[in-house]
Amino acid sequence: MRRVLRGPRPESVPTLVGTACTLVGLVDIAAGVFPRFRHSRMHTLAEVLPGAVGPFAAAMSLSVGVLLLLLAHGIKRRKRRAWRAAVILLPVGAVAQFVYRHSVIGVLISLGILTLLLRHRREFAALPDPRSRWTALANFVVLGAGSIGLGLVIVNSHPGRIVGSPSLTDRLEHVLVGLFGFEGPIRYADGVDWTVGYSLGALGLLTATTTIYLAFRPEHPAVRLTGDDERRLRELLDKHGTRDSLGYFALRRDKGVVFSPSGKAAVCYRVVSGVMLASGDPIGDVEAWPGAIERFMDEAKAHSWTPAVMGCSETGGEVWTRETGLDALELGDEAVVDVADFSLSGRAMRNVRQMVKRIERNGYETRVRRVRDLSEAELDRIRRAAESWRGTDTERGFSMALGRIGDSEDSGSLIATAHRTEEGETGPYGDLKAVLHFVPWGPDGVSLDLMRRDRAADPGMNELLIVATLRDAPRLGIERISLNFAMFRSALARGEKLGAGPVCRMWRGLLVFLSRWFQIESLYKFNAKFQPRWEPRFVVYRNTGDLPRIGLAAMRAEGFVTLALPRLRPGRPRPCAHIVPDTGAHEVRAA
């Protein structure tokens, strides 16, 4: 798909004010921490920034600087609450200028920024992001660690005034007790004790105040599918589910949804780090897609979220870019196997054919059934096995994952299992050795959701079960099967061809290097074994500068980047190198 090139966009007032707050905050902190800063070449600038001489001035300078840094990002994102806080903070800074430093210019600068905020107040209307009580804990950890680090700088910024030679332990103790407002073991000459004490106390008070505020403010939980939302989505999938292989993954219950005014189309999404991530194409009638996309963009604007779409088809990308002015970039290819064209015959399929025959000779048998045809006891055994065999501590997947197995509402899903009864040995899950789970793709297709296997089973379980599913597909009325998603597949394919240019080879080399962590090349080679047709998938984004944020948000949504605290239990075994990672939910596809 051709990318549309646009000229640079003029900076908005929120962006300019947010940047100004960042710079003022940094200089303000420096002015409060380093006594010599006011006598350096930055003296003239320091004189007109918030802060003053003396103990109160240092404390005020630090507090105002830290708060401005905390508010700057929210101001850039047009957040209403950040605007309110800045409107309150700037007059306080102006008063400090006049009372402690008698700086008229400093007052004018504070009031000038305040005037800009008030004049353009209508631009700061963005609603809050999803949040929970964990935000308070994160603030306490991050700001607390920052306060300790900054406190050590403050304690050591007066080397000529320190009495004696305190050890590093004494300095750290002085910081820690100072954050709680108590006097530490270090002594200073010429009244510096008061300056250091008030500065440390201000940092501690700031950490405590912001944490308490975040802990007791109202929660804004992330949007989830309601029962009515799921019912309406299922009705749309019944009518239009054949078009997109990823459509059924819209039924993940940790996604939000916006419907078109007519109710004939919908866009499902999740908000991660201020990025509003949609996945796949809109659900429903193509003619109603623009209405759902407009609602999506309105929601993103209302919260000042960065809009993005992961894994849409070429048709979906064309509609998104036409209706919104966003850009599209090819992300990779989806492997789709047409059942009627699949055969194990021929030289190209020799490796798969030999592997499957070898595993079958070792006594493995396969069963391919709809969820509705399995008993609850067997479904429970499959769920427990899939959880136990997961190769990561966290369940992965978002855009190409359902996140559940065997739900009564998903009776049309497909489960392929591999079994082997070993004489004198019974595992915790009986003879079950591997599981593949597929979700419906219209009435005549399925889309791969997850791949799990017993690590002690023979290599090749995934190949065995895919071949078994393709063999049984006609009996089950299945005509097409969507397999894994291969990122940058075309780049890998071009780079390994004879005569590839140096740029193609260099790009392929980088992807191969990254495959050590993200299985980019292994997924492509695994998919290619089954001789699929490749369907391109795209990422839709607003501008190039948003791509790093979108990439990080997507990796967090998919479970490849986790910011949670580590679990205090033994880790799971690492995925074996000779197979596609047995991780959850099209994380194989999204890896």
Instruction: Indicate if the pLDDT at residue 395 is higher than 80.
Output: no
30 token code pair: 């420096």
More confident residue, 6 or 272: 272
Instruction: Indicate if the pLDDT at residue 591 is higher than 70.
Output: no
Strands 275-279 and 306-312: parallel
| Choice among 87-96, 192-201, 243-252, 559-568 with the minimum mean pLDDT | 559-568
20 token code pair: 């100004």
The predicted model gives 210-222 an average pLDDT of 72
Q: Residue 438: left if φ>0, alpha if ψ -120 to 50, beta else—which one?
A: beta
Q: What is the mean pLDDT of the chain?
A: 80
Instruction: Indicate if the pLDDT at residue 561 is higher than 80.
Output: no
**CA count, 13 A, side-chain hemisphere, 507:** 15
| Choice among 275-284, 348-357, 422-431 with the minimum mean pLDDT | 422-431
Classify residue 122 by its DSSP letter.
Answer: G
All residues at 6 or more sequence positions from 56 whose CB lies less than 8 Å from its CB, including other chains: 100, 198
DSSP string, 380-435: HHHHHHHHHH-SSSS---STT----SS-GGGTT-EEEEEE--BTTB-BTTBTEEEE
State pLDDT tens for residues 453-500: 888 888 889 999 999 999 999 999 999 999 988 877 777 777 776 677
Length of the chain measured in residues: 591
pLDDT score of 101: 52
All residues at 6 or more sequence positions from 16 whose CB lies less than 8 Å from its CB, including other chains: none
Name the percent of the chain lying above pLDDT 70: 80
Q: Which of 434, 430, 414, 409 has its CA nearest to residue 368?
A: 414
pLDDT score of 287: 94
All residues at 6 or more sequence positions from 530 whose CB lies less than 8 Å from its CB, including other chains: 335, 337, 342, 352, 466, 470, 483
The predicted model gives 542-547 an average pLDDT of 89
More confident residue, 202 or 237: 237
More confident residue, 588 or 291: 291
pLDDT score of 132: 64
Q: Which of 91, 86, 50, 51 has its CA nearest to residue 71?
A: 86
Instruction: Indicate if the pLDDT at residue 576 is higher than 80.
Output: no
Residue found by looking up tokens 């600068």 in the block: 109
Give Dmax over CA atoms of the chain in angstroms: 90
234 token code pair: 């299922």
pLDDT score of 419: 92
What is the pLDDT confidence band of residue 218, given thresholds at 50, 70 and 90? low
All residues at 6 or more sequence positions from 183 whose CB lies less than 8 Å from its CB, including other chains: 177, 193, 197
Exposed/middle/buried for residue 123 (C-beta within 10 Å: 0-12, 13-18, 19+):
middle
Q: Which helix (H) or strand (E) holds 333?
A: strand 327-338
Instruction: Indicate if the pLDDT at residue 388 is higher than 70.
Output: yes
With a threshold of 0.75, does the pTM exceed it? no
Instruction: Indicate if the pLDDT at residue 587 is higher than 50.
Output: no
Q: Which of 296, 309, 293, 288 has its CA nearest to residue 246?
A: 309
pLDDT score of 10: 39
Query: CB of 590 within 8 A of CB of 397?
Result: yes
Instruction: Indicate if the pLDDT at residue 386 is higher than 80.
Output: yes
pLDDT score of 85: 85
CA 252 – CA 321 distance, rounded (Å): 25
